Chain A
Amino acid sequence: MLDMAQKDSFRNGVHPPENKDETSALAIRRFPFAPVLIVPLSQHLGKPAIPVVREGQEVTRGQTIAKADGFMSVAMHAPASGLVKRIALAPTISGTMAPSVYLRPHPAASQEVDDGEPCDVAKASPDQIITAIQQAGIVGLGGAAFPTHVKLKAPEGKHLDILIINGVECEPYLTTDHRVMLEQSADIFMGIRYLLRATGSREAIIAVESNKPDAAKKLTESCPQGLPVTVRVCPVKYPQGAEKMVIKSLLDREVPSGGLPADVSTICVNVATTAEIGRLLPLGRGIQERVITIGGPGVGRKGNYRIPIGTTVRFALEKTDAAKNVSRVFLGGPMMGPAVSNLDIPITKGTSGITVFTTAESGTATGHQQIYPCIHCARCIESCALYLNPSHLGLLAKNEEYTQMADEFHLMDCFECGACSYVCPSHIPLVQYFRVAKNMVRKLSATA
């Protein structure tokens, strides 16, 4: 069932140039194995996984190489058949070093994957499915990398009425969810079966933005009979892909400040995550690769690639003919993607894409313009999807009034979508201020 009548959207937000046309029509292609794959033990929010392999050990593709450490953790799987060279520190996007498994794939290693213990959707109990999802190493593939199985357990006294499958993909340049919806609709519906069973939700809604009509059409047409799924098309607006925003757009419910979607009886799962659940669980496999968009003006062979976890950004860019005048590389899209300072960091489960800018884009890129004082134009207020007051927060941040920012102006609600910085005519790096402030608030409350 396709519902096009939906005109409602969340309030505020922005419309950055989408820049999706260059890759949205390109089918997903496989990426070759890099000479060395670096698999960090912590690719998710929560506790790092515990390695279960030794240095020098042979592993096969799909084999579990690290197990979950408690409930807030997921397993890791070998992205290729090869040799565990060492387990040591490796650079990460945040600039710190983190324990990782260095894997050297065998020359000409096959793409065959080890199957594990299948999880049958018809027979498995909700708890069995939740455990299987944890063991498959599944985390939110939209970018947050939150362990999916944790979300599926409704908190005490809450009921997960509606399952929202998030295919909004509002970040510019990224087209991975779009391609997954076009090419893996069967996997998505299989994933929805697992999720409905695990959560006890009565229906699922797939949210797609109106710039992906082909995906909405494909999903509507291929929806199996009897599955309670609706496809809803939302008007394009950034940051609609955020959980709180897509719930507001679809159901007009506001997740309480500091609360969870479960507080409004919903659960929101990214569409690519759903597809992975539907693809991996019937075979008992784990995540050993993911789909990413490699795009932006600095990439020669743009496209959507199924890339092994642990491939370094350097290898990915060399294989896709990155331009010589590359100026900035970021993981994900230009609105939220963190900038890469070291090309030798690996692609992890939470990496939705690599976007590359060249020196030609520097003129419109942040950091190159003159910063003016705030002129109270209120554009940031009109852009903030959470109705915060970025102008005032920015002023407080400058004066290091961090506690006041958190206590009176809901700083901790900010999910750093970047809309305020994007519209600011004074080019004030508001989101950067807020990141610093949030860190300070966390430090202060930790020491208090």
Chain B
Amino acid sequence: MSELKKFLEIGSSPHITSGDSVEVIMRNVVLALLPVCLFSVYSFGTAAALVLVTATLSCIGTEHFLCKMTGKASTIGDWSVAITGLLYGLTLPPDLPLWMVAVGGIFAVAVGKFVFGGLGSNAFNPALVGRAFMQAAFPQAMTHWAVPFGDTRFVDLPASTLAWPFAQPAYDAVTAATPLAAMKFDGIQAANRELLFGLSTGSVGETCAVLILLGGIYLIARRMMNWRIPMSIFTTVAVISWAFMLYDPVSYPTPAFMLFSGGLMLGALFMATDMVASPITNAGCWLYGFLIGVLVVVIRYWGGMPEGVMYAILLANAVSPHIDRFIQPRVFGTGKGAG
């Protein structure tokens, strides 16, 4: 009769879990980014593929190396650094020299993530930290945009891609202006169709709004992304730009242009929603999104640069812990709900 096992596992209840894990969430984000990556390779050719691969490998390698160096178990298995790598790669110009890509990737993980304490502790989105570094370190290379759908994009590499480290990269003669730059400096507004379907130029992964939206919708449907953040950003940007358009339709672009141009889609759906660096409450997320929206419009309209999504998100990241401090859920049975 006493066949019952001698040793029982004991543990604190609950004894069951929902089955989702950090790893599963992170893998799904990577999955949601894959269509965007594939399109970028389709539109910018082999160079974009090399940028993405270099960015991802440099990020993963850096995290693995730093973990080993500090005597910790490697954390690359949680897939979060793969997201950082991909996102960072997607924000770069397609013909950026690969050595620069790698330098930025190392910086993104080492300074954007590791010094803060790794996953869960990064105050800023590491991919954007990397990109901000690149913007400061290589301003010329970071504003050099290749023409999409070039005839030889799968056969030839741009001369700059394989430039020697620290040598002045030789650029191909033909370049294009991003829709935002064209708008800002020449007052030319791109057609919505071009923006939605990725026919214009820009960073590797920011050009095709439709695919970015699809990825975002997938994550929202799987409850792996807080829809309030992108919704709040979109609403804020749309409302403000609409008001300005009514005031002066000649100098200010349409809300649709504002939403679908530049890095807004990619930033709002995949970078502002970095769980670690965004507020935890829903009310906080609305406020955070509003802040990003306002900053994007301000930088785009009155800043020196045509694009402001990166700085808008980084600034909002910095404010996020303070939002969490002041916006807490109303506890059951307190305040207006009690009694």
Contact = CB atoms under 8 A, between A and B. Distances in A.
Contacts of A338: 13
Contacts of B4: 314, 317-318, 322, 326, 343
Nearest to A14: B18
Nearest to B279: A376
B286 to A, nearest CB: 13
B339 interface: yes
B15 A339 contact: yes
B17 A366 contact: yes
Contacts of B69: none
B281 interface: yes
A425 B20 contact: yes
Interface residues of B, number: 49
Interface string A417-436: 01101111111010110010
A416 B118 CA distance: 30
Contacts of B331: 257, 386-388, 410, 413
Interface string A389-425: 1011000000000000000011001001011011111
Contacts of A431: 12-14
Contact of A340 (B8, B22, B118): B8
B17 A422 contact: yes
A365 to B, nearest CB: 5
B17 to A, nearest CB: 6
B15 A328 contact: yes
A254 B332 contact: yes
Interface in B264-289: 275-276, 278, 280-282
A392 B280 contact: yes
B10 A256 contact: no
Interface in A197-232: none
B22 A336 contact: no
Chain A at the B interface: mostly helix, strand, loop or mixed?
Answer: loop
B15 to A, nearest CB: 4
A439 interface: no
A427 B21 contact: yes
Interface stretch (A65-73, A270-278, A281-289, A367-375): A367-375
A269 interface: no
Contact of B334 (A410, A418, A432): A410
A339 B11 contact: yes
Interface stretch (A77-85, A103-111, A113-121, A377-385): A377-385
Nearest to B78: A372
A391 B8 contact: no
A253 B16 CA distance: 30
A364 B19 CA distance: 7
Chain B CB within 10 Å, residue with most, of A314, A367, A372: A372
A6 interface: no
Contacts of B17: 364-366, 369, 421-424, 427
A334 B276 CA distance: 30
A425 B14 contact: no
Given A317-B4, A425-B24, A328 B9 contact: yes
Contacts of B11: 328, 339, 365-367
Contact of A318 (B2, B13, B121, B328): B2
Interface in B281-314: 281-282
Contacts of B72: none
Interface of B: 1-5, 8-25, 78, 80, 117-121, 224, 226, 275-276, 278, 280-282, 324, 328-334, 337-339
6 contacts: A335-B16, A337-B13, A365-B17, A377-B275, A388-B329, A425-B24
Given A366-B17, A367-B11, A387-B330, 16 more contacts: A259-B333, A263-B339, A328-B8, A334-B13, A339-B9, A339-B12, A365-B16, A370-B21, A375-B276, A376-B280, A378-B281, A392-B328, A421-B17, A425-B24, A426-B21, A435-B12
